[in-house]
Structure 1
Amino acid sequence: MIHQSNVLLDHFKINDWVIDCKRLTATRAQKLVRLEPKAALILQYMAARPGEIITREELFSAFWPNQVVTEDALNRVISALRKALNDSSTEPQYIATIRKSGYRLVADVKLTSPPRRSPKARWIFSLIFMLSCLVFFAILKLDDSILAQSAIPKLNGEFQRLTHSHQLKVMPHLSEDASQLAYIERDHSANTLVLMSVKSGDKLRFKKNNIAFSFPVPAPRLHTAFAIANLLGDPKSYTISLIDFDKRKVKPIFQLESESNGLSYHAQSNTMAFTQRTQHIVNHKVFLFNPLLASSTVLSSPPKGYSDSHPVFSPAGKEVAFIRTKSPTEHAIFTVSLDGNETQRTPYQNSITGLDWYNHSELIFTNEQGVYLLSGSGVHTQLFSPVSDQYVATPQVASKAGQLLLTFQHANSIGKAIDLTVGPTTYSLTLSNGSDSEFAISPDATRMLFASTRLGKKTLWLRYNNQLSSLGDVHFDEIYDLAWSSNSQLLAAAVKKNNQYGTLIFNIATHKWDVHWQQHFPLHVIGWDKNNRIWHSSLKNGTWELSHSLPAQNIETWQPKISVYQARFTPDKKRLFYIDAVHQALWEWDFTGAPQKIALPYSMTLNRNWDIDSSGVYFISKEGALNYFNTNDRSIKQLIDTQNAFTPIHRPQLRLYGLIGTQQVVSYNDFWLSNLP
């Protein structure tokens, strides 16, 4: 061993493999293998202590701190490393398993110098790397006008890791010259605003216990940033503020009418784009703000029930790109000029996790499948596909430096339950390296069904008599709104596949399922009434309409006078509580008279994040805390104040004396930088 023990090496050699932890590669002879980020970090950790036994407990503590994960999480990483290095668990040449203890790196470790390549060699390496490791795009047939706009950018595979902490890091914003990075660090109770020097890695942190920050943007003056600031406890105190890290001051610039779903700053014109909603309306619009004039104007005009988020200025500041949402499973990219002319740039799709401008006409965006270039004519080309179990999001283009920042993350979701008669403690229902969600326990409490990606695709799973099994070959793009019949014999769920929606019916007695497919409009399953009819809400002709049907009949009965977006039955099935897609209100209907409106507190936002009992509403906040709204006295009680106790994007359900929901568990989350040509 020719290197100092306990020193983390970025470049080293184990036997005949050359490891580059910065580029996430392993090279032997002419063979190059890409390493998963988590695998590269664990190999780097073991290479600092060659020959030593490193316990499983130490590895879990170092790489999954304060996370609920199964033994499979580490098993999968070690298996991936052995596969990459062509190693064997029975006759190990690199990583040996020490029974009932941990692992030992048995290969020789030697320090190597960072690779230095001529421009030609670097170009050849990058091309090979892209073709063999990043699973890049096949060149699409583009017409001459598209090719004339710009060359398609190619990520060269040489990713530089910018952050190395275990905290959850969100909302990154890279300055145009790639010199500064602003982002939010979250813990269980609060968040911290961070301003980082990309070159040195030095970080300035700003935290106030009574202020929550979101969507930070580096400001022109040194050691300052813009951000949305909210005075905790005051739901109407949202402001665009200037944060001075040296003076430790927060200076409000503009008072907002509500929370915001994005902030962008254009330095040349000194203008800002942000979103907000107006009083009693739940949908966000994009606004333009001029600090010199201290005034704002509306830019976007979403249809009723649609909402806009994540505004981003074009390089010239003449357009703003944003994400428009019409339902939890329908998102599209739009652009709007400063005079309000909108253009839809993509079809609606399951998810869009971030976007930024690549140049004056083209955009880069991310979704569940990877990173894409969106041309001015609407053609999208895949630039990068993440490895299995990896999630990539929040692209940030530094146009002046020609660099792209991405968030690489490994996250899964698990089932969580709380006994409301005991206290705020939650209990795990599932432990998986996949993503489990949308949990539903039968009324007789004998069975639990949920959606999961354990087999690589979204599938229904059943737990019965402590046995867990998937429901055959039931694969869909989305599975949500699981609802049991009163006799615990039938389950209904909303499903989506190839942009078509339907209602799935699963029969417990026969163990068979069937899907009643509808058109391409979004669909929500509400539940079963006391007559064993399934109730739905569907987006038709721009309006969410209410209907019900019997499983044996393919005939819908519509309630055209009532617009219902999300709804829940009371436990006795005698009333229906619902929200529409527009107003900040809850409605109560007894199926005979006119629905009665219940005003909601300004801080209370309902979407899929709620369920009801006979007296009120249990709802999950945007931060993941659990609350209870009493419909009689209009009071709100916080039941769990821990952030990320549950995720608000999945529907929770009351059952017996408890509530079950979904929790997102992030085991790896860091920012990486790559060059663009």
Structure 2
Amino acid sequence: MANKLPSYFKLDTWLIDIDQNQITDLDGKSSKLEPKSMLVLQYLASKPRETISRDDLFEACWPNQVVTEDALNRVISSLRRKLGDTAGSPKFIATVRNAGYKLIVPIHELDNPRFIDTTTSNSEEHLATSQTLTEQKPVLQKKKIRSLVAICFSLLLGCIILIYSFQKDPEIAKHQFERISYNTQQNSMPKLASNGEVLAFIQQSVNHPNKLKIRYLPDTYAEDISAANKHYLYPSFYNSADNIAVLSQDIKTNLIQIEKITLSNKTSEPLLKIPHMSHGLSVHPKGDEIVFTQPISTNAQSQNHTIYTFNQKQQKMYPIFLPHSQYSDRLPNYSPSGEYIAFLRNKSQFQDALFVSDMNGKTTQLSNYNDTIFDLTWISNHQIIITKNKGVYIFDLDKKEQIWHSASPLQSYQEITYSLDTKQLILTAKQTINTANIFDLTNSTDGYLLTKAEAQDTELSVNYNGTAFVFVTNRSGKKSLWFRKSNKTNIIKNTEADEIYDLVWHPNNQYLVAAYKLQSEYGLMIYDLNTQTVYKKRYNKNPIHIIDWRNNQELLISVENNLQWKLNTVSFNNFIPTALRPIENSAELDIFQGRLSPNKKTLYFLTSNKSHIFSWDFKASPQVINLKTENIYRNWFVDNTKLFHFNLPTWNRSTNQKVADLIAFDFKTQATSIIKQYPNIQMQYRPQRLINGFTAVKNNKLQGDLWLIETNFD
């Protein structure tokens, strides 16, 4: 800040006292400002009639902090409200479109009357003043004592209120949670019958196919109604509690179909064979239609799904609406009346939104694309409840949102179902235990364990000389970066975020860069291995994907903008990142996920509709690669001659494990080959290419139980 920051000044008719966080009008009426609001006003006043960018305000008033754009918006709104100002007809603070803010009136700095000038030349006057102060000392001391007592009492009262608020969460106190299952496996995808008397759910474990379970409430134990050699997903009740529809996959033939199961006699009836596993299933209340998802492209080149309905009487399936190739839809769910279908639409890795469609295909977006949404269910014909990391939320069809339950740092609820008849809500609290591993392509398939804990260790990256590695984990209760060097594993301070991904080491082995998401903001965090320091650079609400270092000074990044992913570069000055800058000749390219060849000459990228992979030398037009992309998302890496990716896991009956084929595609011969099979690979996390192998995340254990809440949403 080159300009002097004023501390006591007049702003038109207002007297501003920075030290007291106080503003006073012409009538002598004073009011307090929040410290952050006063800091922003002080910074604007240091440069009156100059446009100050939002970035400058963030750096000056929120140094080394990651905050949302709304933080500054709220402060500016608060200042205008206090000063009697408006954005439309500003008298003090003007918004400069696409530039920042400007204080449009001059300021007049004043001497602060609280500071006494002790340099007077009149010794008698100085003596008189001293005598007066001495005579007043007992009175002042009494006032000070009374003030101190008042301050101590206020602090004590504040501490009591704060402790009480932590001990008694008002959201949790309002709801009576009852754990209704105790299993070593993971209970998921619960679905209550409309009468609330029967619960269907899926029981998952690492080394066994999913089982279909039925529980007659209030019985304690569930009944396994799974058929041998079948893998089940997404049960959904018909209007009768005796019938359910469910997705099944034969683990021998991989045949996928929708089945109707009658519970009273345990019989199964195949309804529809589908080419690809659906991302959800729901039965119409009348029982004549089923809604599910399938890939947008008929040849399944695209992984993005859209919503179909199947009419059981007509034996026909058709899409509800025209699909959009850049979105993927999942978890369709009929409303209790059957007039609407609620569903989730995915825009990027951590951005879901809640949508509703009528039966004519007219869609309405109810929420923003800010967070990952786990599940949804209807609680009435006009209200939907969803689960996110931050808690459980209710949405009306008129787009009103309210939080119903706040999640704790160690407990969040994911899948959800509700019975209108019994007013019972059932949720799952799930935990996935992952380990970070390194695999040698010249040796065994088992790999070498790098991390092991009762936690969700996700993406990892080993530096090029193999002396250290960094990984993402929730061991501290929130996602953060941890590092291991020799036999020491420690948390990297100041790296907590909602999501951390795309870990890439600099060629000098000292710096690691990772993408992060905090609230609705995306940015980069840079970790210095030598000094153990972290620097964060916040960009905006547009999602980013890190590709790789193009050279020692430039990092390639793809950034989402209006459903297109654009290639950018970030330069570094003493390893502090600068602004994003578009790459030359890339304006027309859609680069969703990218991998750079080790020799830095070729960029391979997957488009946002996930239908094609291209190669590009940064000069000529990109060339399409003749490779099926239906199973490629983040689970791929390249060397100078081949592209490696994992296929979707299948069951290996000889080892009784879920295994994924590692496929190699040769750029020169255009031939594909299966390298090896790897068990329990987590496909959603990015692997890292090494000289003779790669790193990947394995699923070690699944845990999760069902919780019941009796509540009335009326």
For normalisation by structure 1, the TM-score amounts to 0.71
Q: 1:615 aligns with which of 642, 647, 668?
A: 642
Q: Tell me, yes or no, if structure 1 residue 627 matches structure 2 residue 654.
A: no
Conservation of the 8 A alpha-carbon contact between 1:391 and 1:411: no
Q: Name which of structure 1's ranges 662-671 and 432-441 shifts more when overlaid on structure 2.
A: 662-671
1:14 matched to which residue of 2? none
Q: Tell me, yes or no, if structure 1 residue 352 matches structure 2 residue 378.
A: no
Conservation of the 8 A alpha-carbon contact between 1:167 and 1:185: yes
Deviations 1:485-516 (A, max 9, x none): 22323322112223121223334455444334
1:554 matched to which residue of 2? 579
1:225-374 correspondence runs (5 A): 225-232=244-251, 237-243=255-261, 250-268=268-286, 270-277=288-295, 278=297, 279=299, 280-301=301-322, 303-374=324-395
Conservation of the 8 A alpha-carbon contact between 1:535 and 1:549: yes
Distance 2:519 2:237 in 1: 40
Q: CA deviation at 1:636?
A: 5.5
- Identical aligned residues as a percent: 24
Q: CA deviation at 1:580?
A: 0.8
2:601 matched to which residue of 1? 574
Q: 2:437 aligns with which of 413, 416, 419?
A: 416
Q: Tell me, yes or no, if structure 1 residue 190 matches structure 2 residue 209.
A: yes
2:95 matched to which residue of 1? none
Q: CA deviation at 1:648?
A: 2.1
Conservation of the 8 A alpha-carbon contact between 2:665 and 2:673: no
**1:476 match: secondary structure:** coil
Q: Tell me, yes or no, if structure 1 residue 165 matches structure 2 residue 186.
A: no
Distance 1:429 1:394 in 2: 31
Q: Name which of structure 1's ranges 283-292 and 662-671 shifts more when overlaid on structure 2.
A: 662-671
User: What is the identity, as a one-letter code, of the residue corresponding to 1:660?
Assistant: T
Question: For residues 537 and 359 of structure 1, do their structure 2 counterparts lie closer, same or farther at Cα, with a shift above 3 Å needed?
Answer: same
Conservation of the 8 A alpha-carbon contact between 1:389 and 1:410: no
Question: For residues 601 and 203 of structure 1, do their structure 2 counterparts lie closer, same or farther at Cα, with a shift above 3 Å needed?
Answer: farther
Q: CA deviation at 1:656?
A: 3.3
Q: Identify unmatched segments of 5+ residues in structure 2.
A: 1-163, 651-657
Distance 1:251 1:618 in 2: 36
Aligned residues: 528
Conservation of the 8 A alpha-carbon contact between 1:242 and 1:251: yes
Question: For residues 428 and 574 of structure 1, do their structure 2 counterparts lie closer, same or farther at Cα, with a shift above 3 Å needed?
Answer: same
Distance 1:555 1:676 in 2: 49
Q: CA deviation at 1:424?
A: 2.4
Distance 1:587 1:384 in 2: 45
Distance 2:167 2:195 in 1: 29
Q: CA deviation at 1:601?
A: 4.3
Question: For residues 667 and 555 of structure 1, do their structure 2 counterparts lie closer, same or farther at Cα, with a shift above 3 Å needed?
Answer: closer
Question: For residues 569 and 234 of structure 1, do their structure 2 counterparts lie closer, same or farther at Cα, with a shift above 3 Å needed?
Answer: farther
Question: For residues 232 and 385 of structure 1, do their structure 2 counterparts lie closer, same or farther at Cα, with a shift above 3 Å needed?
Answer: same
Question: For residues 255 and 618 of structure 1, do their structure 2 counterparts lie closer, same or farther at Cα, with a shift above 3 Å needed?
Answer: same
Distance 1:183 1:636 in 2: 38
**2:685 match: secondary structure:** coil
Q: CA deviation at 1:325?
A: 0.8
2:413 matched to which residue of 1? 392
Q: CA deviation at 1:165?
A: 2.7
Distance 1:600 1:401 in 2: 52
Q: Tell me, yes or no, if structure 1 residue 439 matches structure 2 residue 460.
A: yes
2:690 matched to which residue of 1? 655
**1:582 match: secondary structure:** coil
2:546 matched to which residue of 1? 525
1:437-516 correspondence runs (5 A): 437-516=458-537
Distance 1:401 1:335 in 2: 25
Q: CA deviation at 1:264?
A: 0.5
Q: CA deviation at 1:635?
A: 4.0
Deviations 1:126-149 (A, max 9, x none): xxxx999772449xxxxxxxxxxx
Question: For residues 307 and 326 of structure 1, do their structure 2 counterparts lie closer, same or farther at Cα, with a shift above 3 Å needed?
Answer: same
Q: Identify unmatched segments of 5+ residues in structure 1.
A: 1-129, 139-153
Distance 1:521 1:510 in 2: 30
User: What is the identity, as a one-letter code, of the residue corresponding to 1:227?
Assistant: V
Deviations 1:540-590 (A, max 9, x none): 122111222322353513211321111112333332222111143332333
Conservation of the 8 A alpha-carbon contact between 1:362 and 1:373: yes
**1:392 match: secondary structure:** coil
Q: CA deviation at 1:269?
A: 5.2
**1:292 match: secondary structure:** coil
Question: For residues 469 and 156 of structure 1, do their structure 2 counterparts lie closer, same or farther at Cα, with a shift above 3 Å needed?
Answer: closer
Supply the RMSD in Å over aligned alpha carbons. 3.0
Deviations 1:603-658 (A, max 9, x none): x422222223432313263677432122136545373453xx23222212122333
Q: Tell me, yes or no, if structure 1 residue 375 matches structure 2 residue 401.
A: no
Q: Tell me, yes or no, if structure 1 residue 639 matches structure 2 residue 669.
A: no
Larger Rg: 2
Question: For residues 600 and 172 of structure 1, do their structure 2 counterparts lie closer, same or farther at Cα, with a shift above 3 Å needed?
Answer: farther
Conservation of the 8 A alpha-carbon contact between 2:195 and 2:241: no
Conservation of the 8 A alpha-carbon contact between 1:584 and 1:599: no
For normalisation by structure 2, the TM-score amounts to 0.68
Question: For residues 480 and 249 of structure 1, do their structure 2 counterparts lie closer, same or farther at Cα, with a shift above 3 Å needed?
Answer: same
Distance 2:619 2:638 in 1: 20
Question: For residues 281 and 486 of structure 1, do their structure 2 counterparts lie closer, same or farther at Cα, with a shift above 3 Å needed?
Answer: same
Conservation of the 8 A alpha-carbon contact between 1:219 and 1:225: yes
Distance 2:696 2:672 in 1: 23
Distance 2:665 2:345 in 1: 31
Q: Name which of structure 1's ranges 334-343 and 607-616 shifts more when overlaid on structure 2.
A: 607-616
Q: 1:425 aligns with which of 446, 467, 472?
A: 446
Conservation of the 8 A alpha-carbon contact between 2:194 and 2:239: no
1:587 matched to which residue of 2? 614
Question: For residues 651 and 285 of structure 1, do their structure 2 counterparts lie closer, same or farther at Cα, with a shift above 3 Å needed?
Answer: same
